Structure formats: structure tokens, C-alpha cells
A = this chain, B = another copy of it.
Amino acid sequence: MTVLADKSLEPHRLTSAQRVLSILGVFDTENLALSLSDISRRTGLTLSTTHRLLNELLRWGALSRHSDGKYSIGLRILELGTLAPQGGQLREIALPYLHDLQHATRGNIHLGVPEGHDVIYVESLRARDTVPVPSRLGGRWPMHATGTGLVLLAHSSQEFQEEVLASKLRRYTDHTLTDPDALRHFLAEVRKSGVAIVQSQLTHDAMAVAVPIRGPRDRVVAAVGITVPLGSPSPHSLVPALAATSRSISRALGAPSAVTDAGVPRQTAHWQVREVKYSSSAGR
């Protein structure tokens, strides 16, 4: 427990909004239910402040409380989350195609979108009879360590790619691509071939195939991927099915390049999230 509050010369200059958010932020996959004092310790907020805020969050439905007194994320947050355009909305459109893909291939299917240096799985369909991969709906993984992530990275801006390559790239297995030069090479391949095929990036016994999905201005907005057990027949045989799925979804999203015949032009909603720049240093 390295929870030692650094009370040297930084007496927690937080705005009240940040306090609220910091409470929500203490929940993660390993901490699904926390007590008042847990939360107080982990946020660094005083007990009374934490207590008051927890009650406000509870009343609103952002948190729920269990019979043992612990707090968890509430359903209202789940509900809210489905309103994220790159999340619930995209999922809604893509789901039928993903189902078809799963029927056809019997692999684990992922639909990933970029956030920060990570991919977030907006949908994760698991096959019953294949390798269990560590991928949940809502899961977050570094881009360099997943098939879908590498596809998204390959189609990001040059600066963004370099920014990611310059960061610390965690090695999950001894096959994980972490060398910047090797990655640059690989990303170029992905751009050229339109597909990423990788082995054992995250766990030893799996391989992944992923392709991009395009939205309105033909921008890459997401990626679909299949994960299959390591020694599977031929990952290349999965490419056509993936490509077809990607094309269908892209068309449904209104990607110009995917629109072949005179289909009904779908409503083009608010895709393509602007990269917002903050004064990353200088407090406010």
C-alpha cells in the first residue's frame, strides 16, 4: 500500500468537479465495490467530503450501495455510457454484422475504438469453445498490444503515432511488439495491406486478425478483430469475412468508399471526435 499522501507541499488543489470525478475514478475491474473509507483513502479526500459526495452520487444514481455498505458504480452510468456515439451508437449499428461474422467464423469478435493511447472494446462477442481472451466489453488495452489497436494506430495521424511509439510500451508476452522501429515497419504494412495479423501480443495462446472500419469522411473510426487459438488453420482465411463485415459496417456509417450502389444515404451522425488540445502543463 503505497498510498502515502504526499502532503509535502501539495495540499490537494482540486476543483469540486474533480473531486466528484476522482470518486468515480477509483472504481476499476479490481475494485468493483469499495467502502467509504476505502474511497476516502484512495482519492485523498477527507472522510466528510467523501461521505457527502457519495450521498449525492448515490441519490443521482451514479453509484449504488450494497447490503454490506460498500459502493459500486450504478446503473445510471451504464445507461449513460450507451449514449456515447462511438460506443453504444456504433455498437447498435454494428452488432448484427458482428453476429453474422461470429456465426461464420466462430472466433472471438471485438469492436474497438480509440481513446487516448488505448483501444476500448465497444463490443466483445466471445465464442464458447475457443481460447478465453482477456477482453471485456468496455475493456481498455494499449493500442500496440492488440490487433484492433494496431489497426487504429496505423491509421492515426503521424504525430499521434510517434507520440505513442515514444511512450513506454508495455510488454505483455515476449512476442509483444515494443520496438519502435519494428512497429513503424509493421504499421506501414498494415496501411498497405489493409489488415493486421499478429500473434500472442497480449496472451501466449492467441492470434488476432483485424481490419479498419470507416465512417463519414472515410476516416477510420473503429476496427473489427477476430481472435482465434494460436495454431488455427489459416488466419488469412478469415480476412475475406472480416473485410466484408468491415465494409458493411462502414457503409452503414456512411463511408463514401463503401457506398457502391444507390443505397439510402444513412444519416451521418457526429463521428470523428476532434482531438482536443489542452494546455497539458500549466495548471489552468
Contacts and interface: CB of A to CB of B under 8 A. Distances in A.
A11 to B, nearest CB: 19
Contacts of A28: 83
Interface stretch (A160-168, A170-178, A268-276): A268-276
Contact of A64 (B58, B65, B76, B273): B273
Interface string A18-56: 101100110111001100000000000000000001011
Main secondary structure of the interface of A (DSSP, over half): mixed
Contacts of A91: 137
Contact of A80 (B16, B27, B86, B126): B27
A185 interface: no
Contacts of A95: 126
Interface residues of A, number: 71
A98 B62 CA distance: 27
Contact of A82 (B16, B78, B86, B116): B78
Interface of A: 15-18, 20-21, 24-25, 27-29, 32-33, 53, 55-62, 64-68, 70, 72-89, 91-92, 95-96, 99, 113, 115-116, 120, 122, 126, 128, 136-140, 269-274, 276, 278
Contacts of A16: 16-17, 20
